[in-house]
Amino acid sequence: MSDPTQPSATPAFLQHDRPPVPDIVVPRGVQPFHLHARPVRGRLVRLGPLADALLTRHDNHPAVARLLGEALALTAGLAAALKFRGSFSVQAKGDGPVTMLLADCTEAGALRGYARVDAERFGAALEAAPEPGAGALLGGGYLAFSCDQGPDMERYQGIVAIEGGGLAAMADHYFRTSEQLRTHLHLACARTPHGWRAAALILERVAAEGGTDGELDAEAAEDAWRTALALAGTLTDAEMLDDGLPPAEVLRRLFHAEGLAVDRPRALAYGCRCSRARLAGVLSGFGDGDLDHMAQDDGAITMTCEFCNVDFRFERAEVQGASGGGAKA
């Protein structure tokens, strides 16, 4: 079988091959839960070996890889709370060394992401601090949460200015100001003896009506929320990233006395969706002059998927510019 990333005699618009990328599924990647008769629900996200597969596609500095890992775990956890068909993404654009941070997850749990780095700015950031945090890496800019359900559906997007020293604080700022939702976000990512691992604990304060049938009044509901926050605050990064500690056990240690109820877990998978057909469509939108400029000395155009870092090569003669009506048959 031919390598789908290499030039092919098949016309570009007929090529649908996917690149050779990791086939990894984490069956219990997201563990939803709630606390019975309390105004608390949440998700525990554990990427396991999927984090290493995603983060090692690029040769990023550990500080950048850590930020991207946190973004992937956050995105997976937020997507799991939505009912949609399409993709949910978290995107940050700023004037810092990481000019673009993007992670997205489909309704089926296909996860991908990348960080775009300005080498000169990053070098300056390392001089200031050997392990710059999210605030130093992103600088000033905006954080966007988007749900894209396809061309026939309205695209939802919420945007907020970047505020906070860490990605969890930045996301919490969004929920407090844009969604009026009280949350607790704990993000963790580190390189362990087993490779990169990333995780997220997300708590949400849901509405509670008081008065009858065992429901809490407003004061008791607020006290239950504060108790859940205090218990969640005892969770360490090491516990979150420990492959030997199942998600249900992590939650049991935290909330066993608070009416813990775990719901059906959701799987996560390596989710880059690039293909020759997609990239051929992108190329066909350029004019012939631009395509000539892209072509290398050997007459081929190389396009690199920013998510999985795989190169696709197209023969210049196979691809026609927008003025010519698309790829040649």
Which of 258, 172, 262, 263 has the alpha carbon at shortest distance from 216?
A: 258
3-state secondary structure of 113: strand
Which of 244, 235, 236 has the alpha carbon at shortest distance from 193?
A: 244
Which of 168, 162, 226 has the alpha carbon at shortest distance from 202?
A: 168
Q: Is the pLDDT of residue 250 over 50?
A: yes
Question: Which residue type does 44 have?
Answer: L
The residues facing 2 across adjacent strands are none
Domains of the chain (ranges; CATH) run: 12-18+274-324 (3.90.1280.10), 25-270 (3.55.30.10)
Q: Is the pLDDT of residue 239 over 80?
A: yes
- The position carrying tokens 């859940």 is 228
Convert 237-246 to b/e letters by CB count within 10 Å (16 or more is b). eebbbbeeee
**DSSP assignments along 306-319, one per residue:** TTT--EEEEEGGG-
Dist. CA 314–CA 17, nearest whole Å: 13
User: Given this model, what pLDDT does residue 264 score?
Assistant: 95
End-to-end CA, the chain = 22
Give the list of residues 6+ apart from residue 242 with CB closer than 8 angstroms, or none.
none
- Full-model pTM: 0.86
User: Given this model, what pLDDT does residue 187 score?
Assistant: 98
CA atoms within 13 A on the CB side of 11: 8
Both structure tokens of 81? 């709370």
Q: Would you place residue 9 in the very low, low, confident or very high pLDDT band (cuts 50, 70, 90)?
A: low
Q: Is the pLDDT of residue 16 over 70?
A: no
Q: Is the pLDDT of residue 23 over 90?
A: no
Both structure tokens of 249? 């056990």
Q: Is the pLDDT of residue 142 over 60?
A: yes
Both structure tokens of 120? 């000169």
3-state secondary structure of 227: helix
Dist. CA 253–CA 242, nearest whole Å: 14
Rg (CA), the chain: 22
**DSSP assignments along 246-262, one per residue:** -HHHHHHHHHTTTTEEE
User: Given this model, what pLDDT does residue 155 score?
Assistant: 77
> Which is more confidently placed, 151 or 225?
225
Q: Is the pLDDT of residue 206 over 50?
A: yes
- The position carrying tokens 């996860």 is 111
Give the list of residues 6+ apart from residue 103 with CB closer than 8 angstroms, or none.
68, 71, 72, 74, 75, 89, 90, 91, 111, 112, 113
| 8 Å CB contact between 94 and 162 | yes
pLDDT, mean over the chain: 87
Largest CA distance in the chain: 77
Dist. CA 57–CA 268, nearest whole Å: 17
DSSP state of 51: H
User: Given this model, what pLDDT does residue 325 score?
Assistant: 44
> Which is more confidently placed, 97 or 308?
97
Beta pairing class for 110-117 and 266-270: parallel
Q: Is the pLDDT of residue 327 over 70?
A: no
Phi–psi pair at 276, nearest 5 degrees:
-60, -40
Q: Is the pLDDT of residue 3 over 70?
A: no
